[in-house]
Structure 1
Amino acid sequence: MKKSNTHSTLVGYTLWIFGFTGAHRFYFGKPITGTLWFFTGGFFLIGWVIDLFLIPGMDDSADRRYRGGAYNYNLAWIFLTFLGVLGIHRFYMGKWLTGLIYLLTGGLFLVGVLFVGAGLLLRKAWR
Protein backbone atom coordinates (compact mmCIF):
# COMPACT_ATOMS: atom_id res chain seq x y z
CA MET A 1 0.00 0.00 0.00
CA LYS A 2 1.31 3.44 -0.91
CA LYS A 3 2.41 5.52 2.06
CA SER A 4 1.08 9.07 2.28
CA ASN A 5 1.89 11.71 4.86
CA THR A 6 -1.51 12.06 6.51
CA HIS A 7 -0.20 12.33 10.05
CA SER A 8 2.55 14.36 11.68
CA THR A 9 4.97 13.12 14.30
CA LEU A 10 5.18 16.67 15.66
CA VAL A 11 1.39 16.82 16.11
CA GLY A 12 1.55 13.38 17.71
CA TYR A 13 4.10 14.54 20.27
CA THR A 14 2.14 17.72 20.90
CA LEU A 15 -0.97 15.66 21.62
CA TRP A 16 1.15 13.26 23.68
CA ILE A 17 1.72 16.08 26.17
CA PHE A 18 -2.00 15.61 26.90
CA GLY A 19 -1.53 11.86 26.39
CA PHE A 20 -3.13 10.84 29.63
CA THR A 21 -6.37 11.85 27.86
CA GLY A 22 -5.64 9.53 24.92
CA ALA A 23 -5.57 12.42 22.42
CA HIS A 24 -2.48 11.16 20.58
CA ARG A 25 -3.89 7.65 20.31
CA PHE A 26 -7.16 8.90 18.84
CA TYR A 27 -5.13 11.02 16.41
CA PHE A 28 -3.15 8.01 15.16
CA GLY A 29 -6.34 5.98 14.63
CA LYS A 30 -6.35 3.91 17.81
CA PRO A 31 -9.79 4.60 19.31
CA ILE A 32 -9.86 1.59 21.63
CA THR A 33 -6.59 2.36 23.38
CA GLY A 34 -7.40 6.07 23.17
CA THR A 35 -10.56 5.41 25.15
CA LEU A 36 -8.63 3.22 27.59
CA TRP A 37 -6.04 5.99 28.05
CA PHE A 38 -8.85 8.53 28.54
CA PHE A 39 -10.51 6.57 31.35
CA THR A 40 -7.31 5.34 33.07
CA GLY A 41 -5.11 8.44 32.85
CA GLY A 42 -2.81 7.06 30.18
CA PHE A 43 -3.07 3.58 31.68
CA PHE A 44 -1.99 5.04 35.02
CA LEU A 45 0.72 7.15 33.30
CA ILE A 46 2.89 4.08 32.56
CA GLY A 47 1.53 3.67 29.03
CA TRP A 48 1.77 7.41 28.54
CA VAL A 49 5.55 7.31 29.16
CA ILE A 50 5.99 4.26 26.92
CA ASP A 51 4.11 6.04 24.13
CA LEU A 52 6.88 8.64 24.05
CA PHE A 53 8.95 6.00 22.23
CA LEU A 54 6.09 4.47 20.23
CA ILE A 55 4.88 7.64 18.48
CA PRO A 56 7.19 7.40 15.41
CA GLY A 57 5.89 3.88 14.76
CA MET A 58 2.28 4.99 15.27
CA ASP A 59 2.90 7.78 12.75
CA ASP A 60 4.30 5.38 10.12
CA SER A 61 1.43 2.97 10.67
CA ALA A 62 -1.20 5.71 10.36
CA ASP A 63 0.47 7.10 7.23
CA ARG A 64 0.19 3.67 5.59
CA ARG A 65 -3.44 3.12 6.65
CA TYR A 66 -4.98 6.50 5.81
CA ARG A 67 -5.15 8.58 2.65
CA GLY A 68 -5.25 12.35 2.46
CA GLY A 69 -8.49 14.15 1.71
CA ALA A 70 -9.89 17.58 0.96
CA TYR A 71 -9.36 18.74 4.55
CA ASN A 72 -6.30 18.81 6.75
CA TYR A 73 -7.12 16.09 9.24
CA ASN A 74 -4.31 17.20 11.56
CA LEU A 75 -6.22 20.41 12.09
CA ALA A 76 -9.59 18.62 12.29
CA TRP A 77 -8.28 16.32 15.03
CA ILE A 78 -6.87 19.19 17.02
CA PHE A 79 -10.19 21.02 16.76
CA LEU A 80 -12.09 17.88 17.78
CA THR A 81 -9.79 17.12 20.70
CA PHE A 82 -9.65 20.56 22.25
CA LEU A 83 -12.71 22.40 20.90
CA GLY A 84 -15.07 19.52 20.12
CA VAL A 85 -17.78 20.62 22.51
CA LEU A 86 -17.98 23.93 20.62
CA GLY A 87 -18.36 22.23 17.23
CA ILE A 88 -15.33 23.99 15.72
CA HIS A 89 -14.29 20.79 13.93
CA ARG A 90 -17.74 20.59 12.29
CA PHE A 91 -17.55 24.19 11.09
CA TYR A 92 -14.07 23.52 9.68
CA MET A 93 -15.32 20.51 7.71
CA GLY A 94 -18.16 22.59 6.24
CA LYS A 95 -20.91 21.00 8.33
CA TRP A 96 -22.51 24.22 9.54
CA LEU A 97 -25.79 22.76 10.80
CA THR A 98 -24.20 20.12 13.02
CA GLY A 99 -21.55 22.66 14.06
CA LEU A 100 -24.31 24.94 15.28
CA ILE A 101 -26.02 22.04 17.07
CA TYR A 102 -22.75 21.16 18.80
CA LEU A 103 -22.19 24.78 19.75
CA LEU A 104 -25.64 25.07 21.32
CA THR A 105 -25.65 21.67 23.07
CA GLY A 106 -22.06 21.34 24.29
CA GLY A 107 -21.12 18.73 21.71
CA LEU A 108 -24.48 16.99 22.04
CA PHE A 109 -23.78 16.68 25.75
CA LEU A 110 -20.25 15.26 25.09
CA VAL A 111 -21.56 12.01 23.57
CA GLY A 112 -21.49 13.53 20.09
CA VAL A 113 -17.82 14.41 20.40
CA LEU A 114 -16.92 10.75 20.93
CA PHE A 115 -19.23 9.71 18.08
CA VAL A 116 -17.66 12.22 15.68
CA GLY A 117 -14.18 11.06 16.66
CA ALA A 118 -15.06 7.53 15.63
CA GLY A 119 -16.68 8.85 12.45
CA LEU A 120 -13.56 10.80 11.47
CA LEU A 121 -11.49 7.65 11.87
CA LEU A 122 -13.81 5.61 9.68
CA ARG A 123 -14.18 8.33 7.05
CA LYS A 124 -10.43 8.79 6.85
CA ALA A 125 -9.75 5.06 6.61
CA TRP A 126 -12.24 4.38 3.81
CA ARG A 127 -11.10 7.17 1.46
Structure 2
Amino acid sequence: MSAYSSLPPKDSGLAYVFMLPTLVGVAGVQHFYLGRIFRGIIWLLTFGLLGLGTIYDLFTLKRQTRQVNARRALGID
Protein backbone atom coordinates (compact mmCIF):
# COMPACT_ATOMS: atom_id res chain seq x y z
CA MET A 1 0.00 0.00 0.00
CA SER A 2 1.30 3.42 -0.96
CA ALA A 3 1.41 6.47 1.28
CA TYR A 4 -0.56 8.33 -1.40
CA SER A 5 -3.52 5.95 -1.27
CA SER A 6 -4.33 7.10 2.26
CA LEU A 7 -4.51 10.77 1.24
CA PRO A 8 -7.92 12.32 0.51
CA PRO A 9 -8.75 12.87 -3.16
CA LYS A 10 -8.21 16.27 -4.73
CA ASP A 11 -11.30 18.40 -5.42
CA SER A 12 -11.66 20.02 -8.85
CA GLY A 13 -13.79 22.82 -7.36
CA LEU A 14 -10.97 23.74 -5.01
CA ALA A 15 -8.52 23.56 -7.92
CA TYR A 16 -10.66 26.16 -9.72
CA VAL A 17 -10.59 28.34 -6.58
CA PHE A 18 -6.81 28.17 -6.62
CA MET A 19 -6.95 29.31 -10.23
CA LEU A 20 -8.58 32.63 -9.23
CA PRO A 21 -5.27 34.37 -8.37
CA THR A 22 -4.51 34.11 -12.09
CA LEU A 23 -6.87 37.03 -12.57
CA VAL A 24 -4.41 39.26 -10.71
CA GLY A 25 -1.28 37.87 -12.35
CA VAL A 26 -0.32 34.93 -10.14
CA ALA A 27 -0.79 31.93 -12.41
CA GLY A 28 -0.18 28.27 -11.63
CA VAL A 29 -1.41 27.92 -8.06
CA GLN A 30 -3.81 25.17 -9.17
CA HIS A 31 -0.87 23.09 -10.35
CA PHE A 32 0.90 23.38 -7.01
CA TYR A 33 -2.34 22.18 -5.38
CA LEU A 34 -2.45 19.18 -7.72
CA GLY A 35 1.16 18.34 -6.89
CA ARG A 36 2.52 19.34 -10.29
CA ILE A 37 5.27 21.56 -8.95
CA PHE A 38 7.28 21.88 -12.18
CA ARG A 39 4.20 22.88 -14.17
CA GLY A 40 3.24 25.34 -11.43
CA ILE A 41 6.65 27.00 -11.63
CA ILE A 42 6.42 27.23 -15.43
CA TRP A 43 2.94 28.78 -15.18
CA LEU A 44 4.14 31.18 -12.50
CA LEU A 45 7.18 32.35 -14.48
CA THR A 46 5.36 32.66 -17.83
CA PHE A 47 2.07 34.09 -16.52
CA GLY A 48 0.20 30.90 -17.40
CA LEU A 49 2.03 30.43 -20.70
CA LEU A 50 1.00 33.98 -21.61
CA GLY A 51 -2.60 33.18 -20.72
CA LEU A 52 -2.98 30.33 -23.19
CA GLY A 53 -2.16 27.66 -20.61
CA THR A 54 -4.62 29.19 -18.19
CA ILE A 55 -7.39 29.11 -20.81
CA TYR A 56 -6.49 25.47 -21.48
CA ASP A 57 -6.76 24.78 -17.74
CA LEU A 58 -10.25 26.29 -17.62
CA PHE A 59 -11.47 23.49 -19.85
CA THR A 60 -9.30 20.62 -18.61
CA LEU A 61 -8.91 21.13 -14.86
CA LYS A 62 -11.58 18.58 -13.96
CA ARG A 63 -9.86 15.95 -16.12
CA GLN A 64 -6.45 16.87 -14.67
CA THR A 65 -7.87 16.48 -11.15
CA ARG A 66 -9.33 13.06 -11.99
CA GLN A 67 -5.98 11.96 -13.43
CA VAL A 68 -4.11 13.07 -10.31
CA ASN A 69 -6.63 11.25 -8.09
CA ALA A 70 -6.41 8.07 -10.19
CA ARG A 71 -2.61 8.09 -10.08
CA ARG A 72 -2.63 8.68 -6.33
CA ALA A 73 -5.12 5.84 -5.82
CA LEU A 74 -2.76 3.52 -7.69
CA GLY A 75 0.22 4.80 -5.69
CA ILE A 76 1.95 6.19 -8.78
CA ASP A 77 2.21 9.83 -7.65
- For 1:58, give the aligned amino acid: Q
- Partner letter of residue 14 of structure 1? V
How far 1:66 sits from its partner (Å)? 2.2
Task: Give unpaired runs (5+ residues) of structure 1.
Answer: 68-124
Q: TM-score, normalised by structure 1?
A: 0.46
Kept after mapping to 1: 8 A contact 2:27/2:54: no
Computing the radius of gyration from Cα coordinates, the structure with the larger value is 1
The equivalent residue for 2:19 is 16
* Bigger RCO of structures 1 and 2 (CA < 8 A, at least 6 apart): 2
SS at structure 2 position matched to 1:17: helix
Task: State the Cα distance separating 1:25 from its structure 2 match.
Answer: 0.9
Residue 41 of structure 1 aligns with which residue? 47
Q: Pick which of 18-27 and 53-62 moved more.
A: 18-27
- Which residue number corresponds to residue 10 of structure 2? 7
Q: Distance in 2 between matches of 1:9 and 1:16?
A: 11
The runs of 5 or more residues in structure 2 that have no matched partner are: none
Residues in 2 aligned to 1:49 and 1:18: alpha-carbon distance in whole angstroms? 14
Kept after mapping to 1: 8 A contact 2:15/2:61:
yes
Question: Would you identify which runs of 4 or more consecutive aligned residues in structure 1 move more than 6 Å?
Answer: none
RMSD, aligned CA: 2.5
TM-score normalised according to structure 2 size? 0.73
How many positions carry a matched residue from both structures?
Answer: 68
